[in-house]
Structure 1
Amino acid sequence: MSKPLSLVLVLFALLFALVGAMPLDLSARDVFVPKILYPHAGTVWKAGNHHNVTWDTSDAPVNITNTQGMVVFAKNGLMFTNQTGGLDDPLASGFSILLGRIEIQVPEVAPGDDYQVVLFGDSGNFSPKFTITN
């Protein structure tokens, strides 16, 4: 083997040894799936009114993967994707998931008893179904 090639191989071996010895900051991160407290089954909201969506933060882990929250609507178990209150136009976004509540304005939607709010942060969790009236 030629000396230049040997030198290159030794340098690569040293580089890999140094990189392998470097400490990595892989802090443990936990997924936080807080229970939605309000709205709950039996809740009736009127379109246009303001309400607080609330969730339980009492068991929040120390290291949460994503602390930025977003709230959207769902109907019949499916998130809106092209109406007010959907993924493209959330009811609220950019807040800390550790707040435990966020005020939203109920959009003008067809009345029904199969609405849910979905709270995103680490995960998307659905509230129980509730009613919206006009």
Structure 2
Amino acid sequence: MSQAPLPSEIQLHKQSRKLELVYGDQHYLLSAEFLRVHSPSAEVQGHGPGQEVLQLQKEKVGISNIEPVGHYAIKIYFDDGHDSGLFSWDYLYELSMHQDEYWQTYLEKLMAEGYERQQDA
């Protein structure tokens, strides 16, 4: 059974390319890029530990739509065509709670690959 609280509100801000999740009085803004590079899909995560695929050139990705999947997840449709990851409530809460840490790890992986992010994406 799920340990994470359910968001009381989910709002897609298309212009700023952010997904807002509200848990009680806490508001979290997750960028489309952050969600895209942390998609739980096999395309991103691989099929086991150590098989993750570093996502490049996602600075300008947006979210075209979100829809509920049962009572346990949402499906996010990214405007680059990616839509195979189901973001469970547990995973969304984890991403919200560890956003800074996960983002820093992602940036470090990009640097290790010699990839430079487009700054004004």
Which band: TM-score by shorter chain? under 0.3
Higher normalized strand content (fraction of residues): 1
TM-score (norm 1): 0.23
Q: Which has the larger radius of gyration?
A: 1
TM-score (norm 2): 0.24
> Higher RCO, 1 or 2 (CA under 8 Å, sep at least 6)?
1
Higher normalized helix content (fraction of residues): 2
